[in-house]
Amino acid sequence: MATEPGPDPRRVDPDYDRHGGFPVFEAAQPGPGFERFLTAMRRLQDLAVSADPDPQTWTDAAGRVEALVAQLAPFEAGEGVGPANRVPDLPGAGSLLMPPWVVDKFEADEVLLRVTFSRFHVGGNYAVHGGVLPLLFDSMFGMVIHATGRPISRTAYLNVDYRKITPIDTELHARGWLREAQGRKAFVNAELRDADGNLLAEANGLMVRLLAGQP
């Protein structure tokens, strides 16, 4: 798997570390327990939107979840401190917010991901909710910016065209790339296809480099 990014953006943008609101994210090594925790939590998310037990089971489950909250609450930390979104080798980089994607290529010419949506992501009729796909594409746009070595940027706009129903429980392939760069502006594209190459959705967007002190 190719995971080498482009040039260090700090060389391109001397004010990189002064762009407000973005901590410097470094890879975390939380240990194998974190991966087990994420796997269990993803399954729990699926069950939370699909299970239909008796009332007492809901009560018992609520008590267990409340106990887990109490166990973790003393360790709540700021952005960029906890391992979530900082473990590149785990699906979704270790973030439950993100669909569980796996990086196959992370280079300046393109970023390639494999992603499998589950019951948690269903909008209706066992199809992925339309609002989930912009989240995937927006995350991919950020990866493209980083892979090309461009300075830290925010999304100015993101357009999504839905071509076919996006299924759950099947491995899909996403690709993102930089289409054009104009000063602070980076125009990016992305697409999502199934195993047979059918286009499910595609996106285009504009990422704008932040100015010094801009959040």
DSSP state of 130: T
Q: What is the reported pLDDT for 24?
A: 64
Instruction: Supply the pLDDT for residue 79.
Output: 81
Judged by DSSP in three states, 172 sits in strand
For 28-33, the CB contacts below 8 A with 24+ separation are 28/82, 28/83, 28/86, 28/87, 28/94, 29/87, 30/83, 30/87, 30/94
For domain 9-209, the question of CATH label 3.10.129.10 is answered with yes
Domain locations along the chain: 9-209
Question: In order along the chain (215 residues), what is the average pLDDT of each group of 10 residues?
Answer: 52 60 74 95 97 97 98 92 91 94 96 97 95 96 92 93 97 97 95 98 95 71
Q: What is the pLDDT of residue 23?
A: 59
Question: Rounded CA gap, 190 and 147, in Å?
Answer: 14
* Whole-prediction pTM: 0.87
Are the C-beta atoms of 46 and 169 separated by less than 8 Å?
no
Residues 76 and 197: their CA atoms lie apart, in Å, by: 42
pLDDT of residue 1: 45
